[in-house]
Amino acid sequence: MTQLNPAAAKLLGMPGLLMRSTLMVILASVLAGVVAVAYTAYTTSQRAQETSQIRLNELLDTIESTLEVACFAKDATLAGDLADGLLSNSDVLAVNITGDQHVLADKRRGWLDAASDAQGVKLLKRPIYSPFDSGKIVGHILLTPDPRVISARIKEEVRLAAIQLSWQLAMVAFAVAAIMLLFIVRPIKAMSDRLHSMDPTTGERLPVPRRHADTELGQLVSDVNALSERLVNTLAAERNLRVQREIDEKKYHTIFDNAESGIFIIDGAGSLASWNPAFERMFEFAQPHADDEYAWVNMGLLSWDDPRKISELISSALRRSSAMAEDMLIHLRDGKRRWVNIVLSPVGDNLLQGVVHDVTHLKEAEASARRLVITDPLTGLANRLGLEERLRAHIQEYAFTQTGGFALLLINLDAFRQVNEGMGLPAGDSILQTTTSRLSSCVKSGDTVARLSADSFGVILNRITQGEVADKISGRIRQAIRQTYFVDGSPINLHASIGITLFPNDAFDVPTLLRQSELAMDSAKSAGGDVHVFYDPVLAEAAEHRRHLENDLRGAIRNNEFVLFYQPIIDLRTRRVSGAEALIRWRHPSRGLVPPDSFIPLAEKTGLIIDIGLFALDAACRQLLAWQGQALDYTLSLNVSGRQIPDGLSPARLREVTDHYGIGTRRLALEITEGVMLHDIEKSLHWLKAVHEMGFRVYLDDFGTGYSSLSYLKMFPVDTLKVDQSFVRDMRDDNNEHTLVGAIIAMGKSLGLDIVAEGVELSDHIKALNRMGCHYAQGYYFSRPIPAEEFGAAVHHIDTLLKGGLPAEQAPRL
């Protein structure tokens, strides 16, 4: 606004305005004048014609009577005189008098020829009547007015009108110019001058011209002032913005320069337009200052391991117009390789903005993590995940090529846990490492050896389709493991159970392969170990059956399908029932009463035995409470499985339950087998001592079938021995069993233990047992295991049996 060009001001501004408006006024005036003059000329001509006509008519009127006479008398001389007289009038150019078809006079004046008469001149023709009969036409007179006279008059009129108009116009133009100058041009000029020297940023504003407060000029001034105000404000805002932007730019520049990541901009062809120092460092630009030299460096020419990938990334980022990222390998001068992550984002105009950072550490960490995930740290072999990965790879390869096939071996070191526990973890680790090298020596280079868990290994024998080869190698592996291990100089002998599955014969997927080889391995273990077993569908069936049973068992626990049966125990000295052994039974809804042998092993294996054991404890206590209510001081003995010791049936839990029912601990006996005790001597002993101290009595069940070690008997706090029923049942006079039972009883008594003879079926057995000094007896001779509600009847029957002259030879069996 303040920088208005003076020349432009002169051209557009005040003098020009005046000139223009004056010119326009004059032009308009002239135009109006021309129109007015033309109009005047036209009307004047009309009027002159009319005037001429009127005058001629008047002229004619004055000579009419004479004309009448002349025409009536057809007097050419008189007519000629009249014509002359008429022609003496300047208005008349020609006269023609006709009387009764005869031209009486035809005169004209001056130089004009007849042809030009008619032009634009209105002829005056008048009939002439007889002086004696006003109804009778006796002739005509034709007057031709002189056009020169008319035009001369018109000229005069026009000249006058033009002069008058010119005066008027001149006056108007002058007045307009003066008004313009005074009221518009001068104030505008003043405003303009003021504007030229005005600096709105200092708050200067235009003053409203005098007497123009309410005019358009005043409005204009206030508008200009308002505009200046806005412009000044906008300028100030703009300046602030610029300053802010400079600060921001400086900030971003700092970030750009100091960033650890490489930042750059490239065009669609990959030419680098700009980059930061980190980018230079990353790609080892030789001279950081030699910018010009690299002005046209192309991304594709940097030290990529695969330059095609970068050009693909660029084109795909441009094509999808979205950010694309990729990890790429670059080569450094020193021959090392680095991983960089490059992110390209289109920023429009066929340009891409890129960020690149070194991810070598990440990549290495990732790789090692991946390795770790599939590697067993102790042996360096693949772990379960690694094995599964290899299996999947083999299966995929087979799917593609339809050739190959492999055998999966699952190898479990038998009794390794004992070694581990007995000799310590380092010994176990050493054995595992040795095993690893032995396994590796048994397989080919294309095969895989993996460690799946503590003591089990997996081996993939690649390219094996025939069982014989797998069989041979399995034999070799077992042979290798049977070799004596030496741990700290001590020899250790181990053997392995191996389960074998063949792909694609047996299974097609990894989980099935693993499960099948595990089934085969379990089967090998069940066979006693140191064997290898091929997977057999029967194994799967058995496993399926087991799974069903297990489900049934869980359902049974939920649905309270278990029940305790009681087999009376008789005190041979008092000849009375002293208690009973509680035996678990399963009332299966469809299969009826299921004997314990059918489900206890599985219950032990799956741990369900613990729930069953707790139920049994509860039921036994309830029964003791019931007897207590009937004033019967029977004792009850409860079978305890190895799985229940020490935590499944903890001493605290025992105390809690007996306390709950208010049962004296002396009345509850816990029956364990020798095997249970020997399974984990430490724990068993600890448990036994604890329960024994609480007052529970401890029965050693099935005595005579296992170790029957006297030293154990001394070590464990056992109260009662239960002589295994097989000895008692087969006992005849003086046979081996008889001697054995006698010896057990004698030994027990010598150790101060009570003896219960199980399997008493004949009165002879009682006689013999009495002879041997056995305290208690239990068996079908008295009663089979019966439900609680039949127990009273059984006791009654036993009482009569014992009172009725013992021993009765053929006691009826219940």
Least distance (Å) between residue 70 CB and another protein = 8
Least distance (Å) between residue 62 CB and another protein = 14
Least distance (Å) between residue 144 CB and another protein = 24
| DSSP H/E element including 244 | helix 216-258
C-beta closer to another protein: residue 72 or 264 = 72
Which residues are registered as beta bridge partners of 457? 411, 451
**What gap in Å lies between CA 495 and CA 487, rounded to an integer?**
16
DSSP E strands: which ranges in 454-531?
456-462, 485-487, 490-492, 495-503
Least distance (Å) between residue 41 CB and another protein = 43
**What gap in Å lies between CA 148 and CA 109, rounded to an integer?**
12
272 within 8 A of 262, measured Cβ to Cβ: no
C-beta closer to another protein: residue 72 or 781 = 72
Least distance (Å) between residue 55 CB and another protein = 24
Least distance (Å) between residue 126 CB and another protein = 19
**What gap in Å lies between CA 411 and CA 477, rounded to an integer?**
9
3-class state of residue 500 by DSSP = strand
C-beta closer to another protein: residue 125 or 136 = 136
**What gap in Å lies between CA 453 and CA 432, rounded to an integer?**
11
Least distance (Å) between residue 84 CB and another protein = 13
C-beta closer to another protein: residue 132 or 296 = 132
3-class state of residue 331 by DSSP = strand
Could you identify the residue written with the tokens 């505009």?
A: 227
C-beta closer to another protein: residue 77 or 559 = 77
DSSP 8-state secondary structure symbol assigned to residue 281 = H
**Residue-level length of the chain:** 814
The DSSP-derived string for 196-216 is HH--GGGT--PPPPTT-TTSH
Least distance (Å) between residue 59 CB and another protein = 18
Least distance (Å) between residue 72 CB and another protein = 6
C-beta closer to another protein: residue 78 or 165 = 78
Calculate ∠ Cα 84-86-88, nearest 5°. Answer: 70
C-beta closer to another protein: residue 66 or 345 = 66
C-beta closer to another protein: residue 76 or 487 = 76
C-beta closer to another protein: residue 99 or 779 = 99
Biggest CA-to-CA distance, the chain:
216
C-beta closer to another protein: residue 78 or 408 = 78
C-beta closer to another protein: residue 135 or 629 = 135
Least distance (Å) between residue 109 CB and another protein = 21
Backbone dihedral angles phi then psi of residue 777, each to the nearest 5 degrees: -140, 155
**What gap in Å lies between CA 301 and CA 317, rounded to an integer?**
19
Least distance (Å) between residue 69 CB and another protein = 5
Burial of 644 (0-12, 13-18, 19+ CB in 10 A): buried
The DSSP-derived string for 441-467 is HHS-TTSEEEEEETTEEEEEEES---H
Least distance (Å) between residue 63 CB and another protein = 11
**What gap in Å lies between CA 540 and CA 298, rounded to an integer?**
64
**What gap in Å lies between CA 339 and CA 356, rounded to an integer?**
10
C-beta closer to another protein: residue 80 or 596 = 80
The DSSP-derived string for 590-646 is TTEEEPHHHHHHHHHHHTTHHHHHHHHHHHHHHHHHHHHHTT---EEEEE--GGGTT
**What gap in Å lies between CA 397 and CA 575, rounded to an integer?**
78
293 within 8 A of 263, measured Cβ to Cβ: no
Q: Which residues bind another protein (CB under 8 A)?
A: 66, 69-70, 72-78, 81, 131-133
Backbone dihedral angles phi then psi of residue 626, each to the nearest 5 degrees: -60, -45
